Amino acid sequence: MKAAPDLYIGIMSGTSLDGIDVALVDFADENVQLLASHFQPYPKILKDVLLELHQPGFDEIHRMQLASITLARAYADATHALLNATGTPHRHIRAIGCHGQTIRHRPEQGYTVQLGNAALLAELTGIHVVSDFRSRDIAAGGQGAPLVPAFHDTMLRHPAIHRAILNIGGIANLTDLQPGQSTTGFDTGPGNLLMDSWINKHQGMPYDENGTWAAGGKRIPGLLQRMMSEPYFSELPPKSTGRDLFNPAWLEDQLQGTEAPADVQATLLALTCDSIADAVVRFCAGTEELYLCGGGAHNAALASRLQLRLPHCLIRKTDTLGIPADWMEAIAFAWLARQSMHLRAGNLPEATGASHPCVLGAIHPA
């Protein structure tokens, strides 16, 4: 007898600030099935506001609250678009898991801030909303990130093959699924964030499609060495990072001012690849299969350099495991919402550094 549908929605808007990913997921029989997805790009004005909020500024509390309201309305619009396209009544959705938009991530100071007015989102959709997933983990002494390794552990672990899952969003994070060992995970450093910022500044493009611009440049060894000397890369996991550290100002501090823009882009791609490869070798030794997800999974130049750096790894997209690379994180936050609604732990202390497993998120009933 077929199990009744167990429907959740996951909403993810990440460090890349490109827009909103929404996934409709069925967890019947404890399996995961992506039923439908929807992407809604951020208007430029909203992206600009969010970028400004990453730094202290005039009247920022007021501007932050207005941005949260704008985001909640955008999340609601994206949710309605998905439900309307699939003909799914809102009453059939058990809950929405909404990550929110990170503007501060300072676990060493005991806090993290994700924008998105969850109460308003519940009001606008008529669906329970689970949000603020990171704060409880931080309260328990963790980094509050990455949270997706718990989902990887549940859905993608193999009993005999040593796998690692690499999400390349604005920031890159790695999950180590070694057979017979506890799952670990951490942020390796920049993913697409710096490359996106640099090409936008010099060519007005939101991202470097397939890494074509980077492939046309030449790596600058001295610049790469300076960037790789950033202390974050040598820190031991558990660890997490974001725009608080890796941002355009950080990049400008590394430059001498005479570099050709395409060569800087090539070096930034090398920074992403080399920091990832070093992390795999150092902290996930013996990895046989590396599966890519996130926007960077489509960067052919990046994948090619990763394969050169990790010649003994089979490198593929997570699509081959049944979870589309573009929708991994949105699906994961649908799963995290389900964990919260069932009062089950959603974090992995081995990945975040928390003192114990925690039920994550604040629930806003419809």
Beta strands in the chain (DSSP E): 7-12, 19-26, 33-41, 93-98, 101-106, 111-115, 129-131, 163-168, 171-177, 184-190, 289-293, 314-317, 362-364
φ/ψ of 186, rounded to 5, equals -170, 165
Q: What share of the chain is helix, strand, coil (3-state, %, to 5)?
A: 45, 20, 35
244 and 359: one domain?
A: no
Q: Is 1 part of any domain?
A: no
Q: Is 289 part of any domain?
A: yes
Give the global pTM: 0.96
Q: Is 104 part of any domain?
A: yes
101 and 166: one domain?
A: no
191 and 306: one domain?
A: yes
Q: Is 2 part of any domain?
A: no
161 and 138: one domain?
A: no
Average pLDDT over every residue of 95-104: 97
Relative to beta strand 163-168, strand 171-177 is antiparallel
Helix axes 60-86, 118-125, angle to 10 degrees: 30
169 and 260: one domain?
A: yes
191 and 83: one domain?
A: no
What is the domain extent for residue 226? 157-321
171 and 74: one domain?
A: no
Average pLDDT over every residue of 50-68: 95
Q: Is 150 part of any domain?
A: no
Cβ atoms within 10 Å, residue 167: 30
- CB of 363 within 8 A of CB of 340? yes
Which helix (H) or strand (E) covers residue 139, if one does?
A: helix 134-139
**Average pLDDT over the chain, rounded to an integer:** 97
Q: Is 151 part of any domain?
A: no
What does the pLDDT read at residue 2? 72
Three-class SS state of 131: strand
163 and 300: one domain?
A: yes
124 and 194: one domain?
A: no
208 and 75: one domain?
A: no
pLDDT tens digits, 3-44:
889 999 999 998 889 999 999 999 998 899 999 999 999 999
Provide the CATH number for the domain around residue 82.
3.30.420.40
137 and 208: one domain?
A: no
255 and 350: one domain?
A: no
Q: How many domains does the chain have?
A: 2
For residue 344, name the pLDDT band (cuts at 50, 70, 90). very high
pLDDT at 239 over 90: yes
Cα dihedral value 301, 307, 310, 311, nearest 10: -150
Q: Is 152 part of any domain?
A: no
pLDDT at 1 over 70: no
